[in-house]
Amino acid sequence: MPLDRRHFLAVCSAAGLAGTLLPGALYTLAAQAEQQGSESSKNPQPITNEMIEAAAALAGVPLTAEQRAMMLGGLTQQGKSYDAIRALHIPNHVAPAYVFNPMPAGDPSPPGATVSTERHPMRVSKAPAISRAPSNLEELAFLSARELAEYVHRKKVSSTALTEMYLARLKRYDPMLHFVVTLTEERAMTQAREADREIAAGKYRGPLHGLPWGAKDLLAVKGYPTTWGAGGFEHQIFDEDATVVKRLDAAGAVLVAKTALGALAMGDKWFGGRTRNPWNAEQGSSGSSAGSASSVAAGCVAFAIGSETLGSISSPATRCGATGLRPTFGFVPRTGAMALSWTMDKLGPLCRAAEDCAIVMDAIHGPDGKDLTTRDAAFAWDADFDWRTLRVGYLKDAFESGHPQETAKPPVSETELETKKRLAKERDGAAARARREYDRRYDLAALDKLRAMGVELKPVALPKLPYEDMSPLLTAEAAAAFDDLTMSGRDRLLTEQSADDWPNLFRVSRFYPAVEYIQANRARTLATQQMAALFREVDVIVTPSGGDQLVATNLTGHPAVIVPNGIRGSDAPVPPKVDSGEDDSIGGPGTPVSLTFLGGLYQDAKLCAFARAYQEATAFHKLHPRLV
Using CB atoms within 10 Å of the CB of residue 582, give its burial: 0 to 12 exposed, 13 to 18 middle, 19+ buried: exposed
Q: Would you state the pLDDT for residue 44?
A: 55
Sign (positive or negative) of CA dihedral 352, 435, 450, 544: positive
User: What CA–CA distance (Å, rounded) separates 55 from 19?
Assistant: 8
Q: Would you state the pLDDT for residue 15?
A: 39
pTM of the model: 0.88
pLDDT in tens, 406-439: 445 556 677 777 777 777 777 888 998 999 999 9
Count how many residues are written for the chain. 628
Torsion angle, CA of 584/597/344/367, rounded to 10 degrees? -140
- Give the closest residue to 390 by CA, choosing from 600, 140, 585: 600
Q: Would you state the pLDDT for residue 86?
A: 83
CA contacts within 13 A on the Cβ side of 237: 7
Q: Would you state the pLDDT for residue 335?
A: 98
pLDDT in tens, 274-315: 999 999 999 999 999 999 999 999 999 999 999 999 999 999
User: What CA–CA distance (Å, rounded) separates 617 from 98?
Assistant: 44
- Give the closest residue to 552 by CA, choosing from 410, 398, 430: 398
97: number of Cβ within 10 Å: 5
Long-range pairs of 14-17 with CB within 8 A, sequence gap ≥ 24: 14/40, 14/45
Strand partners, 258: 182, 215
Q: Would you state the pLDDT for residue 159?
A: 98
User: What CA–CA distance (Å, rounded) separates 613 from 446?
Assistant: 13
User: What CA–CA distance (Å, rounded) separates 301 from 552?
Assistant: 31
Backbone φ and ψ for 24, nearest 5 degrees, come out as -60, -25
Q: Would you state the pLDDT for residue 77?
A: 79
Contact predicate 268/284, CB 8 Å: yes
224: number of Cβ within 10 Å: 21
- Low-confidence spans in the chain with pLDDT less than 50: 1-42, 108-112, 403-407
User: What CA–CA distance (Å, rounded) separates 284 from 75?
Assistant: 46
- Give the closest residue to 352 by CA, choosing from 278, 276, 242, 258: 278
DSSP for 98-139 reads -----SPTT----GGG---------BPPPPPP--SPPSSGGG
Rounded to the nearest 5 degrees, what angle is found at the Cα of 101, between the Cα atoms of 95 and 107?
165
Q: Would you state the pLDDT for residue 408?
A: 52
Using CB atoms within 10 Å of the CB of residue 449, give its burial: 0 to 12 exposed, 13 to 18 middle, 19+ buried: middle
- Give the closest residue to 301 by CA, choosing from 211, 218, 363, 362: 211
Rounded to the nearest 5 degrees, what angle is found at the Cα of 319, between the Cα atoms of 150 and 210?
20
